[in-house]
Amino acid sequence: MKEIVLTGAGGPEMLLVAEVEAPEPGRGEVRVRVEASGVSFAEVQMLRRRYPMQPRFPFVPGYDLVGTVDAVGPGVTGVAVGDRVAAMPRTGAWRSRAVVRASSVVPVPAELDAGVAVAAVTNGVTAWQMLHQVARVRPGQTVLVHGASGGVGSLLTRLAVLAGARVIGTASSAKHDLVRELGGEPVDYRAADVPAAVRALAPAGVDAVFDHVGGPSLVESYSLLADGGIVISYGSASTLRDEGHWLTPYLGAARRVAGWQLARLLGRGRRRRATFYYVKPGPRFTQALTEVYRLMSAGDLTASIATRLPLEKADEALRQLVDGRASGKIVLEV
């Protein structure tokens, strides 16, 4: 089988295509013949050792996958050879065959294309959970989605529109048509004053902000909240080129959020909230992905795919992501 190995810190040139023996599943595990795996900003951060608790080099990246079970380990029930499944191992998905915990796989509807299905695994669950379980967005509310043309942002925008919310989405001017197609109102994130542009559209503030940028953007996002609003931080894209320990920007963000929470408890924060979100496997993950797949099968939701590349072109996939050329999810096909 083939796998992509990240050999050390640097750029996409640090990826190596390797030929290895296919692993056998152990107790409670299944082996999946991978059809497609996703490329995410997490892998970009891993290139620079900036991703929280990433493995030591060398290792195989790959956050999520879709494929068909071709071997089952001892003690596995409920999953059989031939089942089409999705999984989010966080690392190890950039392989032609991957071993994952049987308890972590989610059935994939037969009618869904593998690339579309994998584009909804991490991104779809992230968007659905933040919108419905964290922010609890209601019809008539106004939300701000940073990076509305991206993998998570495009799904967030569409899901929020389906939920009856008004969506303001930041994106580069070249991607404004996509944001409009999704049902959002675009704002150029390269504009001199993004908060002013958002306030012009929502003078009373927004009810929720979904912020993957981090750093100074988190402060701006909080300032745009209406009374009782919430900002959800789910990334730190702006800190990618920071130096020093990877934990430093997260500590700074945690201090800000703690301060805002204290102000709220003291009655000084206009009931505004701030919180962090991190996608993780488990029953709630399965529930969310099942719901996302239901919406996709019904034709109510689709995942935007920026490009499809063969597994061996993972380095090119990361270059596109680093350069900001992608609108939607980059997919590696096996």
Instruction: Give the domains, in start order, of the chain with CATH numbers.
Output: 2-120+303-333 (3.90.180.10), 123-276 (3.40.50.720)
Chunk the chain into consecutive blocks of 10 residues (it has 334) and report each block's average pLDDT, rounded to whole numbers: 96 96 97 97 90 93 98 97 98 98 97 96 97 98 95 95 98 94 95 92 98 92 98 85 75 90 90 95 96 97 92 95 78 96
Q: DSSP characters for 188-221? A: ETTSS-HHHHHHHH-TT-EEEEEESS-THHHHHH
What's the number of CA atoms in the CB half-sphere (13 Å) around residue 110?
2
**DSSP H helix total and E strand total for the chain:** 10, 15
Q: Dmax over Cα atoms in the chain, in whole Å?
A: 61
Per-residue confidence (pLDDT) for residue 304, from 0 to 100: 85
Q: DSSP characters for 62-118? A: -S-EEEEEEEE-TT--S--TT-EEEE--SSS-SBSEEEEEGGG-EE--TTS-HHHHH
Per-residue confidence (pLDDT) for residue 191, from 0 to 100: 79
Other beta carbons less than 10 A from residue 24's beta carbon: 10
Give the integer Cα–Cα distance in Å for 84 and 313. Answer: 24
State phi, psi for 309 to the nearest 5 degrees.
-130, 155
Give the chain's length.
334
Sign of the CA dihedral with 9 first, then 14, 20, and 26 last: positive
What's the number of CA atoms in the CB half-sphere (13 Å) around residue 74?
2
Per-residue confidence (pLDDT) for residue 240, from 0 to 100: 67
Per-residue confidence (pLDDT) for residue 243, from 0 to 100: 73
DSSP label of 306: E
- The pTM score is 0.93
